[in-house]
Amino acid sequence: MPRSARTHEFGDAGVLTATQPLFTPYRLGALDLPNRIVMAPLTRMRARSDDHVPTALQAEYYAQRAAAGLIVTEGVAISPDGFGWADTPGLWTQAQVRGWRRVTDAVHAAGGRILAQLWHTGAMSHPDLRGGALPLSASNVDPEQRSVTAAGRVPTVAPQPMTRDEIRQTVADYARAARNAMTAGFDGVQIQANYLYLLAQFLNRATNRRTDEYGGEIEGRARILFEVVEAILDEVDPSKVGVKIGPMHETGPFAANDETLPMAEYAIRELSGYGLSHLLIMGNTTDFTGTPLEPLMGDGMFRHFRPIFRGTLIANVLMDRERGNRLIAEGLADLVAFGRPFIANPDLVERLRTGAPLAEIDWTTVYASGPKGYSDYPALQPASL
Ligand SMILES: Cc1cc2nc3c(=O)[nH]c(=O)nc-3n(C[C@H](O)[C@H](O)[C@H](O)COP(=O)(O)O)c2cc1C
């Protein structure tokens, strides 16, 4: 069947494909997105190990996915101290900026738009990645996770608490990385402030035991986040700066406690006042039953935070065509981010449009090297659409 005829068919969700909310255009700051589909940030470990420069392979991989309304890159280390996961890229040297320029040029040539995700891993790094030096964080609390080193996954260690000068330097490193991102041709940046990484380590009462102005109550623990935002806004227009943040329930000291939700509410309410490009928020990836986050399960996350953030909200985790369309139609999200589905489906946008089946991920090649399981997943041939 010719593809043009397909646009007038009813998809399997019973929605006329030509009018799926996911396929309506959206204005994000100065960017015109042709659809509401965002490629979520995905660490894939294909950068050069020695100098953390993104490769031509990465340019090819992202360009293959340029039909997304917006791409958010994998986490990109803002500085040598921010680096903490083997074979991931950076954005602090001129060689890295040139490497990213190749990526942004390829994505733009393919008609796409791309943001750099700014990442500081804090205590998730490891002495093996830092010439023997301890990773830096808010306090000396072992996050009780696994670090990804060149030799594989190893237990995390108790990090070294940052001095005030190191915090000041870290804030400046975020600003430099944001400036470098714009020099590299990115359409903006996204600050990674959730999961288990540095900013989350400051926000979390269990990993931030500081008694100075960067610790203590909620306002103190969130101080570094706003300093980072403000330092970046000195370099980049707010319409190009977004944040990935939200409450999570993970293991060890990252288990949700009775301050996890109040902290997220406070941080997101304050972020709402900066006129930022977007908030990317994850629904639950773990079972919240019996935790203080239980009411946020499923769509509860978006229902809860939608009224708190007065800007573009990007909803993520376990999205599919039906759910994405519904969240937009119900006003619970403006954009919808897909992570895992983009790994094996470079043409995910077309598959969502037509209701074609999705290819399965080969997990053995997700965190690997080379093109296999990275840039060699095929698009569906027109005949099979
Ligand atoms: C292989 C892989 C790598 C990821 N890397 C990152 C990352 O670098 N930064 C980030 O914020 N989230 C990262 N995530 C989380 C995804 O962005 C996304 O939030 C998560 O996969 C849930 O969305 P999904 O259900 O559509 O996959 C990663 C997830 C996966 C599966």
Domain assignment present for residue 60? The answer is: yes
- Element (H or E) spanning 337, and its range? strand 335-338
Residue 75 CA, closest ligand 1 atom number: 8
Domain assignment present for residue 128? The answer is: yes
**281 CB near ligand 1 (under 6 Å):** no
β-pairing verdict for 26-28 and 31-33: antiparallel
Extract the tokens encoding 264: 């997220």
- Residue-level pLDDT, tens digit, the chain, 385 residues: 333 333 334 444 444 455 899 999 999 999 999 999 999 999 999 999 999 999 999 999 999 999 999 999 999 999 999 999 999 999 999 999 999 999 999 999 999 999 999 999 999 999 999 999 999 999 999 999 999 999 999 999 999 999 999 999 999 999 999 999 999 999 999 999 999 999 999 999 999 999 999 999 999 999 999 999 999 999 999 999 999 999 999 999 999 999 999 999 999 999 999 999 999 999 999 999 999 999 999 999 999 999 999 999 999 999 999 999 999 999 999 999 999 999 999 999 999 999 999 999 999 999 999 999 999 999 998 765 5
Burial state string for 339-359 with b = 16 or more CB within 10 A and e = fewer than 16: bbbbbbbbbbbbbbbbbbebb
Q: How many helices (H) and strands (E) does the chain have?
A: 12, 14
- For residue 114, which of 58, 153, 44 has the smallest C-alpha distance? 58
- Largest Cα–Cα distance in the chain? 67
Question: Would you say 180 and 239 are in contact if contact means Cβ atoms under 8 Å apart?
Answer: no
Confidence at residue 18, expressed as pLDDT on a 0 to 100 scale:
55
Cut 0.85: pTM above it: yes
CA angle 81, 237, 196 (to 5 degrees): 35
**263 CB near ligand 1 (under 6 Å):** no
Q: Would you say how long the chain is, in residues?
A: 385
**75 CB near ligand 1 (under 6 Å):** yes
- For residue 256, which of 245, 264, 268 has the smallest C-alpha distance? 264
Domain assignment present for residue 92? The answer is: yes
* Residue 219, domain CATH: 3.20.20.70
Domain that holds residue 159: 3-357
Domain assignment present for residue 380? The answer is: no
Give phi and psi for 230, each to the nearest 5: -70, -35
How far apart, in whole angstroms, are the C-alpha atoms of residue 127 and residue 181?
A: 27
Question: Would you say 37 and 324 are in contact if contact means Cβ atoms under 8 Å apart?
Answer: yes
Confidence at residue 6, expressed as pLDDT on a 0 to 100 scale:
36
Domain assignment present for residue 365? The answer is: no
Residue 194 CA, closest ligand 1 atom number: 11
Residue 338 CA, closest ligand 1 atom number: 26
Amino acid at 339: G
**242 CB near ligand 1 (under 6 Å):** no
- For residue 311, which of 269, 268, 337, 279 has the smallest C-alpha distance? 279
Q: Give the chain's domain count.
A: 1
Compute the radius of gyration of the chain from its Cα atoms. Answer: 20
Domain assignment present for residue 363? The answer is: no
Q: Let me know if 197 is a catalytic residue.
A: yes
Domain assignment present for residue 368? The answer is: no
Domain assignment present for residue 367? The answer is: no
Q: Which of 197, 214, 266, 374 is catalytic?
A: 197
